[in-house]
Amino acid sequence: MTNERKHTKADLRKFYTLFLEVGLIAVLLIFIVAMKMDFRSKQKKVDLTQEQEVVKMEDVIQTKQIEKPPPPPRPPVPVAVPNDEVIEDQILNINADLNLDQKLELPPPPKETKKDEQEDFFVAVEQMPQLIGGLAKLQKTITYPEMARKAGIEGRVIVQFIVTENGTVENPRVIRGIGGGCDEEALRAVKKARFKPGRQRGKAVRVQYSLPVVFRLQN
């Protein structure tokens, strides 16, 4: 190998100290400039010493509801009751002599009131009456009343009556009606109904019975 002499200008080791000092100076300058710069955002300063708007709260007056006492009740109005009964003046004989031996006339004894007759029918028996032909046959005999049809009256009429020993209907009456002529029509149909009489201990007896009659309009 041949030793080549380096050029004196190409030797950079002589400039290490200079480069180091220049770099330190540059960093120091940058640091000083950075410290003097203001990086804070520019915002408007708020003066807290200004007077704020004062909100006045008005006092709420609490009202009281005065309850008025109810008016006093009206005095009862006297009603004149007609009374045509004329009370005859009785003359008392104060000077009459008292005779202890004379028999005193006693008032007549009260009349005996007749005890209520026992009911001659049963409410429940061993074998209840049966409608001959069934309820459907009875419904076919019903003629819808025109007044009830126009008024749109529908419902159920309950008729109560006595089924006699012969199976006939006795004393029918409506215990729940709907009006419009339906009650009368139900009575008319029930009066013509015939039953197998009810039996108690094998004997035909009178039995109280209730029957519903339905009135329903067809659309």
Domains plus CATH for the chain?
A: 130-215 (3.30.2420.10)
User: pLDDT digit string (tens) for 126-180?
Assistant: 999 999 999 999 999 999 999 999 999 999 999 999 999 999 999 999 999 999 9
Percent of the chain at pLDDT above 90?
37
Position 215 pLDDT exceeds 50: yes
Q: Rounded CA gap, 140 and 152, in Å?
A: 20
Give the range with max mean pLDDT: 36-40, 59-63, 69-73, 192-196: 192-196
- Given a contact cutoff of 8 angstroms between Cβ atoms, the answer to whether 172 and 161 are in contact is yes
- Considering Cα of 147, then 150, then 152, then 154, what sign does the dihedral take? positive
- Given a contact cutoff of 8 angstroms between Cβ atoms, the answer to whether 186 and 174 are in contact is yes
Q: Rounded CA gap, 178 and 180, in Å?
A: 7
pTM: 0.46
